[in-house]
Structure 1
Amino acid sequence: MTKLGRLYPLLDGVQLPDNLPYTQVSTWELKFLCLLGRQHLTGQGRVVELGSGGGGSTYALALGLRESPVFDETTGRLHAYDFFHVGKGTFATEKFFTSGTKPADGNSFLDDFRDRLEPFLPFLEIHAGDIWQTSDPDDTTSIEFLHIDIAKTARVFRCVSERFLTRLVPGSVVLHQDFAGPRLPWLHHSTGALLPYIEIAGPPIRSTLAFEVTRPIPEDVLKRISEDDYTLDEKLALISAVQDRIDRDHTGGIPFKSVLELAKAYVAHYAGEHKRAWSIADPLTSDAYLSRTRADHFEQLRTAYETDRAATPRVSPVARLKRLVGKG
């Protein structure tokens, strides 16, 4: 059993407060965050949450840190990054406001976040705004814990990979909260590239994959990840390598092999190879979980394929034969 895997049997015993802030993270994931803070993290390296949202996950992690026998609140810091406002490109919901709806006079829920996290403000450092602006490109401080719930676009993931993954060291713990999201394949093929240097904790905890860095990650690997320097076929192979390591989530509800197969379709889709994308996705339409939860994904991929097909000039059999004869 892995070091992180030893926390799994403790999940059922975690009691979360009833007044936990609204979050889109599942109860299982919140319990795991609390356990990590209480049982595993020390605060000796940076403790970083990318994508704090309404504060539920931040609260669970901070609560665990407060209950830790080794975390020192006077020197340790929990760094929370987010836009902290709703609007185009933020992927935030109005439920992050205390009222549950956006007020007429603004779109920032930063004050609501501060109010909810008030008990932990002495050791909570908030970074509000675009992560490209709020993160320091010159910061090389090692990261002990990295919770990634912000990489909804390739642009943001590049910032994550350039400024945060490069600071991982042996012992660093990483949580990919969106690992069940096929539209975010950069999470999956980058994990495949990291496999020789990490140890996956165990089955994903709902949509979260947890792993610990066990060997120094070579600079050239990190550079290729941040620069997206992999061919389509290389990315598919890297995702296949991850499929070999994980199956269903720890509750048995999410079939990750199928989810990752659909992520492969999105690798091809983003590369503009819509026919290939649909050839990967089409067989998955019979998957019960995906057909129930990802119908919009299939529609997007099918539409792109059909649009591409309609735009491609059709060559009649006669014309094709004349071309072949001409070449002869």
Structure 2
Amino acid sequence: MSNLARLFPLLDDVQLPDALPYAQMSEWELQFLYLLGRHHLTGADALVELGSGGGGSTYALALGLRENPRFDEGTGRLHAYDFFRVGKGTFASEKFFTSGAAPEDGNSFLDDFQTRLEPFLPFLEIHAGDIWRTSDPDDRTPIEFLHIDIAKTARVFRCVAERFLPRLRPGAVVLHQDFASPRLPWLHHSTGALLPYIEIAGPPIRSTLAFEVTRPLPEDVLRRIAEDAYTVDEKLELISAVQERVDRDHTGKVPFRPVLELAKAYVAHYDGQSERAWKIAEPLTTDAYLAETRADHFAQLRKAYEADRPAPSPAAPESRLRRLVRRAVRR
């Protein structure tokens, strides 16, 4: 059993505050964050949350840290990264505002976030803005905990891969919060590349995959992940390796093997191979879970496939001789 697996039996006993800030994740995921802070993390190295949103996940983790006798609030630091605003490219919800909607004079919910997290501000460092600007490319401080809920685009994931993954050491904990999203296949094939050096905690907690680094991460592997240097075929093989390790989530409701198969289709789709993408995706349309929850994914892939199909050749004009023959036959 992994060090993290011992937390799973404790999930049902966690009682989080009723007034927990809004979060775009399940109660189980919030409970797991609390348990990590309360029973596993120490704060000896940096604790990093990429994509803090409205503060629900930050609050659950920080509450656990505050109740952890091994965590020193004077020296331990929880780093919260986010745009802290709504708008194009931020993937943020207006529910992150206390009022539930953005005010007419601005689109930043940073003040709301700080108010909600006020009890934990002494050990919380907030990094507001584009992660390429708010993260330090020269920072080599080891990371003990990395919560990735920000890699909604390949551009952002490259920043994560370049500036945060190399700072992981054996014993570090990583959470991929969007692991049930087939449109983010970089999460899946990068995990496949890391499999020899990590231990998956157990079944995903709803959409979140948790793993612990068990061996030093090789520089060449990290470089290939950051530079997206794997071929399409290699990426599909890496995702297949993850499928062998991950089945359903801990509630039994999310079937990760077909979810990851659909992620393979997006690997091909992003590479411009629309026919190959649809060939992978079409058999999955009969999967009950995907048909109910990912209909828009199938529509997107089918549309791309049909748009790229060559148009049928126009019929050649009938020759005068052929018309005469056809008339003669009719007689």
Residue aligning to 2:289: 289
Residue aligning to 2:170: 170
State the Cα distance separating 1:229 from its structure 2 match. 0.3
RMSD of equivalent CA atoms: 1.2
Q: In structure 1, the residue corresponding to 2:172 is in which secondary structure? A: strand
The separation in 2 between residues aligned to 1:147 and 1:55, in whole angstroms, is 13
The separation in 1 between residues aligned to 2:19 and 2:150, in whole angstroms, is 24
Change (3 A) 1:148 1:311: farther
Residue aligning to 2:327: none
Residue aligning to 1:324: none
Q: Unpaired segments of 5 or more residues in structure 1? A: 317-328
Instruction: List per-residue Cα deviations over 1:24-74 (Å, max 9, x = no partner).
Output: 111000000000000000000100000000000000000000000100000
Structure 1 residue runs of 4+, over 2 Å off?
310-316
Letter of the 1:257 counterpart: R
- Correspondence 1:120-269 to 2 at 5 A: 120-269=120-269
Residue aligning to 1:63: 63
Q: In structure 1, the residue corresponding to 2:140 is in which secondary structure? A: coil
Q: In structure 1, the residue corresponding to 2:309 is in which secondary structure? A: helix
Q: Unpaired segments of 5 or more residues in structure 2? A: 317-331
The TM-score, its normalising length taken from structure 1, stands at 0.95
The separation in 1 between residues aligned to 2:47 and 2:59, in whole angstroms, is 13
Please say if 1:33 is aligned against 2:33: yes
State the Cα distance separating 1:112 from its structure 2 match. 0.3
The separation in 2 between residues aligned to 1:75 and 1:202, in whole angstroms, is 31
State the Cα distance separating 1:301 from its structure 2 match. 0.1
Q: Which has the greater radius of gyration? A: 2
Change (3 A) 1:268 1:68: same
The separation in 2 between residues aligned to 1:31 and 1:311, in whole angstroms, is 53
Please say if 1:110 is aligned against 2:110: yes
Letter of the 2:219 counterpart: E
Q: In structure 2, the residue corresponding to 1:127 is in which secondary structure? A: strand
The TM-score, its normalising length taken from structure 2, stands at 0.94
Q: In structure 2, the residue corresponding to 1:284 is in which secondary structure? A: helix
Residue aligning to 1:322: none
Change (3 A) 1:129 1:314: farther
Q: In structure 2, the residue corresponding to 1:260 is in which secondary structure? A: helix
The separation in 2 between residues aligned to 1:216 and 1:33, in whole angstroms, is 24
Q: In structure 2, the residue corresponding to 1:9 is in which secondary structure? A: helix
Q: In structure 2, the residue corresponding to 1:221 is in which secondary structure? A: helix
The separation in 2 between residues aligned to 1:257 and 1:292, in whole angstroms, is 16
Instruction: List per-residue Cα deviations over 1:233-259 (Å, max 9, x = no partner).
Output: 000000000000010000000000000
Instruction: List per-residue Cα deviations over 1:159-201 (Å, max 9, x = no partner).
Output: 0000000101100000000000000000000000000000000
Number of residue pairs the alignment of both structures matches: 316
Residue aligning to 1:17: 17
